[in-house]
Amino acid sequence: MRILAILFCLALLAISSPAFAAEPATALVCEQAAIAGNSTYTSAPIGVSMAEGFFTLSARQDGTGPVTIGYQVSVNGLDWATPDGAEAIITDMGDGIRITAFDPVYAPWLRIIVSNTGTSEVLATVRVAYR
């Protein structure tokens, strides 16, 4: 019986070790999405309920822009809110690539908002990596 208790404790320690932590995940928000001037692209909901709080956003823009990227959160995937400061993870992005870490308000659902504040069309590719 004592051996079983020891084996159980060892198994519990092994399962709770960092090696068994959640694997990083990547969500493709949009790929070469054409966003007209003075328009906004809103991503599909991204389920992040298992995320541990580490988020990185990778954005590529082809065009003159400028583009602003923000996020919204939801507790049910239907009703969305923009937390204070969440409207601008990246601001005034021109042609090129940007990678930045961000710290969203915790909620089970996240969606990315890409706003083209310029007058000409841009092509945007955005990915979110989280753990």
* pLDDT confidence of residue 67: 94
pLDDT tier at 111, thresholds 50, 70, 90: very high
The order of strands in the sheet holding 122-130 is 25-35, 122-130, 55-62, 96-102
Q: Does domain 23-130 have CATH number 2.60.120.380?
A: yes
Phi, psi angle pair for 62, to nearest 5°: -115, 115
pLDDT tier at 76, thresholds 50, 70, 90: very high
Q: Encoding tokens for residue 27? A: 């969500």
86 vs 75: CA distance, rounded Å: 16
Is the CB of residue 30 less than 8 Å from the CB of residue 115?
no
Domain boundaries, the chain: 23-130
Is the CB of residue 115 less than 8 Å from the CB of residue 61?
no
* pLDDT confidence of residue 22: 58
pTM summary value: 0.80
pLDDT single digits (tens) 9-46? 444 444 444 444 557 899 999 999 999 999 999 999 99
Angle 55-32-87 (CA atoms, 0-180°, nearest 5)?
Answer: 45
